[in-house]
């Protein structure tokens, strides 16, 4: 589900991939719904490829977003009202075993901002269910 959502370096917000051709993507801004082309020179990252450091194995972003959605009951996070200590405390309540040495306040702030954008766009599930993945693999 998060594979089609991307972040583009230098552009605020998140974007959904609409179409692609040989050298460019057509994306849609999740907030403004405006569509525009993105060239191969732009650095893009799929949210499905992102994970965060924990004391054990890295945790995929989709699983963290699902935990955050459950903890917040679908409500937005007041990112601008929280200082770094408040961000860390909220994140620790969601993911208590995150690696405090390698996950910076800016990472947590970006995660919460992305969560707010995704929930405002109507998303409530961020990981695919195992049954769906098995059905797709069979097809």
pLDDT for residue 24 is more than 50: yes
Residue 30 is predicted with a pLDDT of 96
Average pLDDT for 91-100: 95
In a domain, 81, yes or no: yes
Question: What CATH code is carried by the domain that includes residue 82?
Answer: 1.10.10.1650
Sheet containing 5-8: order of strands: 35-39, 24-29, 15-20, 5-8, 44-46
Number of domains in the chain: 2
pLDDT for residue 48 is more than 80: yes
Residue 127 is predicted with a pLDDT of 85
Q: Does one domain contain both 99 and 55? A: yes
In a domain, 126, yes or no: no
Secondary structure class of 134 (helix, strand, coil): helix
Residue 132 is predicted with a pLDDT of 57
What pTM was estimated for this model as a whole? 0.87
Domain housing 100: 50-120
Cα 120 from Cα 115, distance rounded (Å): 8
In a domain, 83, yes or no: yes
Average pLDDT for 37-52: 92
């Amino acid at each position: 589900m998060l594979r089609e959502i991307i972040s583009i370096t230098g552009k605020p917000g998140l974007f959904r991939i609409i179409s692609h051709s040989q050298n460019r993507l057509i994306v849609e801004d999740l907030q403004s719904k405006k569509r525009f082309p993105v060239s191969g020179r732009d650095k893009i990252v799929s949210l499905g490829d992102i994970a965060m450091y924990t004391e054990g194995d890295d945790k995929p972003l989709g699983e963290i977003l699902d935990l955050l959605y459950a903890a917040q009951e679908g409500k937005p996070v007041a990112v601008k009202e929280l200082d770094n200590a408040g961000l860390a405390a909220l994140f620790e309540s969601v993911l208590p075993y995150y690696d405090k040495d390698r996950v910076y306040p800016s990472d947590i702030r970006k995660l919460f901002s992305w969560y707010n954008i995704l929930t405002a766009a109507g998303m409530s599930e961020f990981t695919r269910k195992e049954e769906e993945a098995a059905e797709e693999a069979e097809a």
